[in-house]
Structure 1
Amino acid sequence: MSVRTSTPVGAPIWIDLATSDIARSQAFYGEVFGWTFESSGPEYGGYVTALKDGRPVAGLMSNDPQWNSPDGWTTYLHTTDAKATLAKAFAAGATTCGMDEPMPVPDKGVMGLLADTDGAFVGLWQPTGHRGFDLVNEHGAPVYFQWTGRDIAKAQAFYQEVFGWQIEVVSDTDEFRYRTALFDGEALLGMMDGSAFLPEGVPSNWSFYFGADDVDKSVQQILDNGGSVVRDAEDTPYGRLAAVADPTGAAFNLSSLQ
């Protein structure tokens, strides 16, 4: 079991799902990944924590129709000062997502939301009582994160300025332009130039991969439980990967465990 006790500043620390059907989502992810669930109660708006082997891996909350947003996952980056990071991000060209100021979550932490210079939506999490996902690189736990957008150079400069990322260039050709961000020497996330393939109207975005003991078996479980396949499983230099969506259309990825 890969238990994480701390998260580098600027690295992904938490993920949560805004869903129009919490009960259906719990049933789906419970079947596919073996998650169990704990409700935080009405004082936290019915927020649900998903657990794998008794350790937190993700959150679920109701997708408020007033948000006028499809069901989807949000990635949160670790900050030690959400207010200062938001101010720095806005000064560097980020835009608000309806939350100009960070929101304290009693006994848990402080959250913020922004859209980066390429329009990709991302969250901030300043932990106090809740330190983020505890389990990584396991079946049903986060394995890797990726930013995909149309102006990788501008976005790279933004994240380096605001979060101090150490960037390593993997490839810099028109066919494949990719960087990784290193934290204590470990590549925890990547940046992909999507200018050649992102469809019109599809914004730049953050995505992530859940680990799967058997990617093809997990894809079949996803289909059997009402989900869908966005991109079929395929072998890559980075393992066997697939892109899928849950029953209400929230997309995520699967990665074999290496």
Structure 2
Amino acid sequence: MNHDSVIDYVELPARDLAAIEDFYNTVFGWTFTDYGPDYCSFSDGRLAGGFYRADATSSTRQGAALVVLYTEELEDAHQRVQAAGGQIVRDIFGFPGGRRFHFADPNGNELAVWSPV
């Protein structure tokens, strides 16, 4: 597989790195590596990224890119996000190709989760 010119890493802000790690590990099973008090990296098993300490948030209302996660069980992911303290920003809706919802993580970063069914 050619890895040239593909998205390789995503970074998002977080005020509380421990809370972010707990949220994404609990809801999606991501693993984390800490690099000091102001940065941690994550792996979701396919893509890697990181969280840097900042008071900012990433939101489509502010013009940020929307990170979209895939799941085969959309309702289950919806429930896990809420149970772990995430806020549903846009409830489940259909679009050409599937269904999705948007949520804000404990820092207020907006992401989405989609499923083809």
The match for 1:229 is 88
Change in Cα spacing, 1:240 to 1:31, as seen in structure 2 (3 Å) is same
Instruction: Give deviations 1:82-107, integer Å, cap 9, x for gaps.
Output: xxxxxxxxxxxxxxxxxxxxxxxxxx
8 A contact 1:19–1:72 mirrored in 2: no
2:17 is matched with which residue: 14, 17, 22?
22
Q: Which is higher, the Rg of structure 1 or of structure 2?
A: 1
Amino acid at match of 1:22: L
Alpha-carbon distance in structure 1 between the residues aligned to 2:111 and 2:95 = 17
The percent of aligned pairs where both chains have the same amino acid is 25
2:33 maps to 1:47:
no
State the match for 1:218 in structure 2.
Answer: 77
What is the TM-score of this pair, normalised by structure 2?
0.83
> 2:57 matched to 1:71?
yes
Q: Counterpart of 2:28?
A: 33
Post-superposition Cα deviations, 1:13-32, rounded to whole Å, max 9, x if no partner, equal: 32112100100000000011
For residues 5 and 220 of structure 1, do their structure 2 counterparts lie closer, same or farther at Cα, with a shift above 3 Å needed? Answer: farther
Deviations 1:129-169 (A, max 9, x none): xxxxxxxxxxxxxxxxxxx7xxxxxxxxxxxxxxxxxxxxx
Shift of 1:203: 3.7
4+ long deviations beyond 4 Å: none
Question: What pairs with 1:168-183 in structure 2 (closer than 5 Å)?
Answer: none
The two structures have a TM-score, normalised by structure 1, of 0.41
What RMSD, in angstroms, separates the aligned Cα atoms of the two structures? 2.4
Aligned residue for 1:253, secondary structure, equals: strand
**Deviation readout 1:201-245 (Å, 9 max, x if unpaired):** x44332120111211111111110111111111222121111111
CA distance in 2, matches of 1:19, 1:31: 17
Counterparts of 2:78 and 2:21, CA distance in 1:
17
Gaps of 5+ in 1: 74-147, 149-201
Aligned length: 117
Unaligned runs of 5+ in 2: none
AA aligned to 1:229 is I
- Note the C-alpha offset of 1:56: 4.7
